[in-house]
Each structure stands twice: as C-alpha cells, then as structure tokens.
Amino acid sequence: MNYKTEIADGTTTVEVTGRFTFGDHSSFRKLIEEVRGHDSSTLVLNIAGVDFIDSAGLGMLLLARDEGEKTNTTVVLRGAQGQVKRMLEVARFDTLFKLED
C-alpha cells in the first residue's frame, strides 16, 4: 500500500494505492500519525487506486474512523471500485462512513 497526502481548506485528502492488506499496518500507522498533525475537519481517503482489500484492511479503515471520532474529523471513503467496493458493501460500511463515488 502506498499513499500521498494533500491538504486544502481544512480537508486532508489521502490517495491510497495498491493492495491494502494485513501486512500494511506500518504504512497505515504512518498515515494516521501524519494526518493527525493536520488538524483537518475532514479526512478523505481516496481509495480509487486500491485494487484489493482484505478484512484486516477493513479493520484499519475502522480504526481511522475511531481516530476521526476522537478529533471530530469526518472520515470519507471515496471512489471504491471492484473488489474493494464489494467488500465495503458486504461489510455495510455505508452505515459507518460517508461513501463517495
């Protein structure tokens, strides 16, 4: 998993690419720590470039949401496609996150 972050108008946008699976905990940790310093009111995770996610990856998204709740940051999942979209549907993530196309 790779990512690039961008801040504009109180919104942090993180573009995540590659596979997002159990082995990616350290990159994900770095991501969360980096974003925490931004103090943004919205965190957009652009996952259009993620081509595979497993249940551990979903777990990490939930952690991001928990983190967001602590700092009053809304977490948005943007652009899920293919297998990722399917997994989000199966896990009913629409009830937990704001999903955008």
Partner 1 sequence: MPVGNDQRPRHLIAVAQSVAQEDIADLIASGAIWKNPEEVSFRYAPGQTPEDFSSQRRFSVCMMPQQIGRDWLGALTRLNCDTFVECFPEMGLGDLAPLTGRKSLPKLDLLVCLSTRSAYHLPVARKFVTSLRHRGLIGDAIAPSVEMAVQEAFANSLVHGNLELDTGGHLSMDRFKELGDETERRLASSTHGTRAIILTARRRKNGQVLITINDQGTGFTPPDEKATLDITRKDSTFGRGLPLIRSICQSVTFQRGGRTIELTFDDEQGVLIAPEAAYIANIEHRLTASREAGLRIPQNAKILIADDTMLSREIIASYLRADGFSNLVFAKDGEDALAQVKAHNPDLIILDIIMPKLDGYSVCKALRADPTYAKTPIIAQTALEENEGRTRIFDDGATDLILKPLNKAELIARTKIHLENRLLVQQLQAYQERTQSELELARNMQENLNPAAEHYRGVGHDYGMRISATFQMSSELGGDMWGLVPIDAHRLGVYIVDFAGHGLGAALNTFRLHSLIWSEQLHDQMPGEYLEVLNRHLKGLLPVGQYATMLYGIVDRQKNVFSYASAACTAPLLGNSITGDARYLDGSGVPLGVIRDARYETREVPFNKDSFLLLYSDALIETTLDDGQFLSEERLLSMLQDTVLEGGADIDLAAQIADQFMDRAPAKLGDDFTIVSLQSAQIPAALSGQPDQET
User: Which residues of the chain form contacts with partner 1 (CB under 8 A)?
Assistant: 2, 17-19, 21-23, 25-26, 29, 32, 49, 51-52, 54-56, 58-60, 62-63, 66-67, 81-83, 87, 90-92, 95-96
Distance CA 70, CA 63 (A): 11
CB of 34 to partner 1, least distance (A): 14
d(C-alpha 18, C-alpha 72), whole Å? 28
Q: Supply the minimum distance, in Å, between the C-beta of residue 10 and partner 1.
A: 22
Q: How many CB atoms lie within 10 A of CB 5?
A: 15
Residue 2 CB, shortest distance to partner 1, in Å, is 6
Starting from the edge strand earliest in sequence, which strands make up the sheet with 2-8, in order? 2-8, 11-20, 42-53, 74-78, 98-100
Report the nearest approach of partner 1 to the CB of residue 78 (Å): 16
Residue 56 or 76: the one with the smaller Cβ distance to partner 1 is 56
- 39 φ/ψ sector (left φ>0, alpha ψ -120 to 50, else beta): left
Nearer to partner 1, 9 or 75 (CB): 75
For partner 1, the closer CB: 66 or 101 = 66
